[in-house]
Structure 1
């Protein structure tokens, strides 16, 4: 599962890919927004392993101006990693404060579905369904 985001705050999108093995691959965009050129930086980004079929999603979940990481997994559930670094130099640390009950093959996406100014969680499921978690904060 791919996720695009500007992980180094250089103005172009980098690529984070969830692998069937449960790990993450990081590709830095060394090109431009108009002509991306992705280079593999790590095939075991953050040394994170969620078991099988990792599905990353990046969003500023704590409202501090940098991207946080949430990774869904085949076995259900997910891992939330809060960015304690900066937009230019992320430092992801595990944070158990965000652990919604997720189904098998959880594929997360964050968007403000209810137009209230905060990000809600939408999760694709193995059966093709969707789960919606409204952000009440």
Structure 2
């Protein structure tokens, strides 16, 4: 069975927003990582101006619901638009379920990150469906127990 959560995107103020949300919901962050925590890609380090931006944060709202978010990578050609800065994130119970949902909902849409194993230990992909809705799917291998 899949679980769907809201994933919010910010342009440099994700940490401020999630500290505010944490004060209202009175929870603790389940995960909090910065772009600077990522391993180097192709031998290149993250630019200094991006290192402190939030790569991923999760805040449990209830036993069933996570509020998740990140900052953009400050790409001047990116598609950040206030009011359209969210995705629906699906956590699945198996790789097969992740693939079924990913390829089913991506049909006629635009895959922005193909399904693949990630450095954080999940099987993950992103796309925009044919109706313009942004989605993410994540399957955590049993040993990782991390949500994105």
Q: What TM-score does the superposition give when structure 2 sets the normalisation length? A: 0.28
Higher Cα Rg: structure 1 or 2?
2
Q: What TM-score does the superposition give when structure 1 sets the normalisation length? A: 0.29
Higher RCO (C-alpha 8 Å, min separation 6)? 2
Point out the structure with the larger helix share: 2
